[in-house]
Amino acid sequence: MNRINQKLQENKKILSIYFSAGHPSLNDTVQIIQDLEKSGVDMIEIGLPFSDPLADGPTIQASSTQALHNGMTTQVLFDQLKDIRKTVAIPLVIMGYFNPMLQYGVENFCQKCAEIGIDGLIIPDLPVDVYAEEYKTTFEKYGLINVFLITPQTSDERIRFIDSVSDGFIYMVSSASVTGSQSGFGSVQENYFKRIADMNLKNPQVIGFGINNKETFNQATQFAKGAIIGSAFITNLTENGVESIGEFVGNIR
């Protein structure tokens, strides 16, 4: 069974952390992953930097730009992660845009992910219809879960289609804005969370965007299996360095 599915079966709320590979420094990637696991994080999303990250807010864009300046590429990331499963057991997901995967070759990319022990991919600009028709068999061949995003504007029909082609979790974007652009959740978001929970989808939901502390983590996980923190973690890394990871995670849990 895929590590993501195993983790989702545990009787706990999932804390997932996102960071941009190659930031703050090019060779911090493995250390950050190892320290996150030691600190009690359940799952990690490793951002593959891209020059035109449409869904990302200014904090993640800045870290992605810095990572590219530092020399991060798809191949560099794969080289950095080649021995990651010797030290890390929790699920690892690569989040990135489709263009670098196309350039690398979709099958080659998936094969490399499988070789190094990546469990899933999040590709915000790969439409679910295109995935289902053209790439699903390739992802499944290499044991990779593809995670799709839904927003408050996604129709119930679309959500049910996404649920039907998914086999892991659904990434529930808390609002229609870019990452890192809000603080706390109001009644509009809570009603959206409740609406999705009441749909009784087969895949659990993990909420992202706008989660930055213990309060918002607890608020989000009232309605979902877990929550993802990205911008707040990257800000902490930028300001306080890799050595601050344990304290950051400890303040969430």
Q: What is the mean pLDDT of residues 94-113?
A: 97
Sheet arrangement for strand 145-147: 145-147, 120-122, 92-95, 43-47, 14-20, 226-229, 205-208, 170-173, 149-150
Quickly count: other Cβ atoms within 10 Å of residue 158's Cβ. Answer: 14
Distance CA 63, CA 189 (A): 27
Cis peptide before 58 (omega within 30 of 0): no
Question: What DSSP designation does 144 have?
Answer: P
Predicted local confidence at residue 43, as pLDDT: 98
Q: What is the mean pLDDT of residues 48-72?
A: 82
Of 56, 119, 163, 167, the active-site residue reads 56
List all residues 6 or more positions away from 127 whose beta carbon is below 8 Å from its beta carbon: none
* Confidence (pTM): 0.94
Is 243 annotated in the active site? no
* 249 HSE (CA, 13 A, CB side): 23
- 104-133 confidence digits (pLDDT tens): 999 999 999 999 999 999 999 999 999 999
Q: What is the mean pLDDT of residues 165-180?
A: 79
Helix 231-240 with 245-252: angle, nearest 10 deg: 140
Predicted local confidence at residue 55, as pLDDT: 55
Of 45, 119, 163, 167, the active-site residue reads 45
Q: Are 67 and 23 in contact (CB under 8 A)?
A: yes
Query: Residue written as tokens 């989808």?
Result: 201
Is 45 annotated in the active site? yes
Torsion of CA 125, 126, 129, 132, to 10 degrees: -160
pLDDT band at 5 (very low <50, low <70, confident <90, very high): very high
